[in-house]
Amino acid sequence: MSPKLELLDQQAEKIILESPYRDQWEADYGAFVLKNMEINQKLSDEAILQDLVKESELCQKYSKASATASTIFRGEECNFYGLLKHMQSTDRDERKEAMKAWGDLYEKISGDLDSIYDQMVELRVGIAKKLGFGSYIEFVYLNRGRYDYTAKDVEVFRKQVRDVIVPICSKIRQEQAKRLGVDKLHYYDEPLYFADGNPMPQGNKDTLVKKAQHMYHEISKETGEFFDFMADHELFDLETKPGKRQGGYCTFIEGYNAPFIFSNFNGTSADVDVLTHEAGHAFEVYTAAPAMPIPSMVFPTMEIAEIHSMSMEHFAYPWMKDFFGEKADDYCYAHLAEALVKIPYMVAVDEFQHRVFEKPAMTAKERRNVWHELEKIYLPWRDYDGHPFLEEGGFWMQKQHIFLFPFYYIDYALAQICAIQFYGRAKKDRKKAWADYYRLCQAGGSKGYFDLLKLAELDNPFHEGTVKKTVDGLLEDLFK
Ligand SMILES: [Zn+2]
């Protein structure tokens, strides 16, 4: 239904744009809303309606294929999430076995996933063509609200990541290998930061939610009220169940000004990350929605939205002792290291998609070659210990964003650079950092990317030097 509704939206927006009251609209709601409406006129058309329905069906097919895939691991039925949990075991054999089962399971469904992706790429290229765009990349940048920067700017950002962040991550991995006492860090060692185990949150789902509630009451008055609202109205679906869709997200129930959080708790520290990351999104929605006259002004573009969520993860550090007890410092170290180590991976996912849509006729094998090549550049430490499917570049297909949310991934890297700026600011002046963050949440999606960065006094990640300046502030915490 959603493509049909989008068309109706577009028609309504056309009426506003051509109305004699247009200037009044701009005065009341700001220029950005009208700019969005103008660009929307180019992004949808009756001619692509069936294609969008088909795209949505393919997305569901992908979700189903990955959610229902399971295997027997040590006598227990495991989906991908379950296997990832075994990959954090302190027993290296168990980790290795789990990675093998995980890679095998992807290999088993890779034929289906490749075929779904082939159809998606063809369909998406066709959609862009029918709308009169030169390429899908051109279309998707506008579709994601990227008005302030182009694919060329993203290339410059990726270069900063290669030059500044990759070498630091290599050093983090070397130290990790030393801590674990292994000669060579394999992929199945990467998730384990400490030889005696990663910090695990203490307590079940209900306890964790209670602890989060306590934390949000201490962080600020606003966050306390927000979390009470979430808890009182049961706006969570947190626990994993067989056949449940993978991943986690926060969405917005229009008309109730209510955020809603979905996730797959698995007993690891990722559960706490849901209660900080997704709650960061939810806090923004809760804060901005009542003040925004129309729903489309609530969510900003994703480079900003992920600042809300990722910064909340960092703001929550002082309360991690409630969740992890005496392992709180370990958690914070691993979290910070992960924040950095994921950036080159995100950038690789982004470059992969650019490469795919620059040459949409690529075969599945060629796509795997591209991923393998990118791993060598961005993840030079990566080693799958001889697993043939993963070694030849099969790893890309475990990234659901590539299938479901094309080109949505660089946003995380751009946002993390800003979240780290908030982290650095909070170390010096927590009050100011929180005030800047809260101002950003209040502004919702009422302005464009660069304007919102300015509003929160954040350095623009595309400017040469920002990445280095930002990351330099972390080094004292990462290498003590
Ligand atoms: Zn997020």
- pTM (predicted TM-score): 0.93
**Residue 298 near residue 162, CB atoms below 8 Å:** no
> How many angstroms separate the alpha carbon of residue 467 from the centre of ligand 1?
20
> How many angstroms separate the alpha carbon of residue 22 from the centre of ligand 1?
34
- Highest mean pLDDT: which range of 2-6, 287-291, 428-432, 473-477: 428-432
> How many angstroms separate the alpha carbon of residue 407 from the centre of ligand 1?
14
> How many angstroms separate the alpha carbon of residue 302 from the centre of ligand 1?
8
Q: Cβ neighbours of residue 305 under 8 Å, at least 6 residues apart?
A: 281, 284, 299, 411, 415
> How many angstroms separate the alpha carbon of residue 274 from the centre of ligand 1?
9
> How many angstroms separate the alpha carbon of residue 358 from the centre of ligand 1?
27
Q: Please provide the average confidence, as pLDDT, over all residues in the chain.
A: 95
> How many angstroms separate the alpha carbon of residue 81 from the centre of ligand 1?
18
Structure confidence by residue, pLDDT tens digits, 252-261 = 998 898 999 9
Q: How far apart are CA 342 and CA 327, in angstroms?
A: 22
> How many angstroms separate the alpha carbon of residue 132 from the centre of ligand 1?
31
Residue 26 burial by CB count (10 A; 0-12/13-18/19+): exposed, middle or buried? middle
Min mean pLDDT across 3-7, 140-144, 358-362 is at 3-7
Structure confidence by residue, pLDDT tens digits, 276-303 = 999 999 999 999 999 898 888 999 999 9
| Per-residue pLDDT at 218 | 98
| Per-residue pLDDT at 84 | 85
> How many angstroms separate the alpha carbon of residue 184 from the centre of ligand 1?
32
pLDDT exceeds 80 at position 246:
no
**Closest C-alpha among 74, 56, 121, 92 to residue 396:** 121
| Per-residue pLDDT at 472 | 94
pLDDT exceeds 80 at position 7:
yes
pLDDT exceeds 80 at position 382:
yes
Structure confidence by residue, pLDDT tens digits, 71-98 = 999 998 988 878 888 988 999 999 999 9
Beta-strand pair 258-265/236-239: parallel
> How many angstroms separate the alpha carbon of residue 408 from the centre of ligand 1?
11
pLDDT exceeds 80 at position 138:
yes
**Closest C-alpha among 290, 350, 339 to residue 473:** 339
